[in-house]
Structure 1
Amino acid sequence: MENKSDDGALHTTTLTNKQRGNEVTVRPATLDNLSIHQFAAHGEISQVKTHLASDISLLNSQDERGFTPLTWAAAFGEIEMVQFLLEKGADPKIFARERESALSLASAGGFADIVSILLKHEVDVDSYDWNGGTPLLYAVRGNHMKCVEALLGHGADITFESDSGYSPVALAVALGYKKMQKLLEDHILKLLRN
């Protein structure tokens, strides 16, 4: 069907397949075009090994966000990938573009085993990102008790405040996390006794 507009131009009212959404606009990714970062996020150790065999500099390579393969693996809770990359010599102290770290992302995700592994590699337990968030603050926000315990056990600063003005205790109170609040308060009392 065709219509003429006020300016005399001819316009068709028939919808194309693309307008109806019947056309595939992006081809699905194949293994050939996935990056080492994507493979790390998905825990594909054999694919990461293949990439590293052809270019070991990829081990600490940063993508457009500044994330390394280790950062992605930590963010997605891929513990075997984290262990593999660390054994290969991945640097757990690299910060992404907005100062995100593997430790802060693992803490935010509640991946306590990965948090513990990273802490053994002497990462900065109080590193902060551009939002003023620390691994401890992210673990509290997610109500991840085991992550908080691991971070406190490695000396995380319980007084550090985010840019929004919340300390870990204040954040736990604001979010109504009673068990988290008790855990943090017990830690403060323990510090005061020593």
Structure 2
Amino acid sequence: FFHFHRTALHLACASGHPDVVALLVERKCQLNFFDGDYRTALMKAVQCQNERCVTILLEHGADPNLVDIAGNTALHYATVGSNTSIAEKLLLHHANIEARNKDEFTPFLLAVSKNKQQMVEFLIQKEANVHAVDKSQRTALMLAVHHDSADLVRVLLQQGIDISSEDANGWTAEEYSIFSGLKVSRQLIAEHREEKLNNYLQNKNPGKTFQHELLLVVLT
């Protein structure tokens, strides 16, 4: 692949002219040329949410797994745009759901960091790795807490993310919530921890409620 400024195909995708895209593709233009930021025409079509252009490019063999200057794929762009329909098309054409950009963000982690709940739920449905961590070893739960996204915290806790995981600085998601003064997120995590402990104790010793109460005192 070559590094060029924008081609006619880039411009047609960016301005939303699927008929022009179809004409250029039929005339065997190069689908995977990069512009100055190493973005392909497919990335531009996704970024501008021109789904018809995206469809034409994919059906003619555009590569969804090429990366731009920041390591983002077309699926990363779909994530930022919160466009699940385009994301679905990319995945059907073998886009890598676990692709990582230079910050080690998968599309799933990027969706969490941008507070794109619909996209997060879509990627969970598509079996994205909810336990992925970024280059600072932050989990999706830490990112959701950091960005004060209580609704996403609820969604992620339901996925069984380990609340005891530590980032590169040794911080847990609960510590993020404490130091940032995020009472709702802290409460959700504390309730989740208590529920897990309660379930564990009930399975191990159904009748020993005193041990349960004692452990809750210790943990809180």
Settle same-fold status: TM greater than 0.5.
Answer: yes
What secondary structure is seen at the aligned counterpart in 2 of 1:31? helix
Which of 62, 80, 83 is 2:85 aligned to?
A: 80
- C-alpha separation in 2, matches of 1:83 and 1:113: 13
Q: Deviations over 1:159-191 (max 9, x none)?
A: 112223321111011111111111111111111
How many pairs align? 165
- C-alpha separation in 2, matches of 1:39 and 1:133: 31
Q: Deviations over 1:129-169 (max 9, x none)?
A: 11212211111111112222222111111111222332111
Q: Deviations over 1:9-30 (max 9, x none)?
A: xxxxxxxxxxxxxxxxxxxx83
Corresponding position of 2:59: 53
Segments of structure 1 that go 5 or more residues without pairing to the other structure are: 1-28
- C-alpha separation in 1, matches of 2:151 and 2:94: 26
Displacement of 1:52: 1.3
Is residue 126 from structure 1 mapped to residue 131 from structure 2 by the alignment?
yes
Is residue 147 from structure 1 mapped to residue 152 from structure 2 by the alignment?
yes
RMSD: 2.0
Q: Which amino acid aligns with 1:67?
A: N
Segments of structure 2 that go 5 or more residues without pairing to the other structure are: 1-9, 14-34, 200-220
- C-alpha separation in 1, matches of 2:184 and 2:110: 22
Q: Give the stretch that moved more between structures: 112-121 or 177-186.
A: 112-121
- C-alpha separation in 1, matches of 2:163 and 2:44: 34
- C-alpha separation in 2, matches of 1:139 and 1:38: 28
Structure-1-length-normalised TM-score: 0.76
Percent of aligned pairs with the same residue? 22
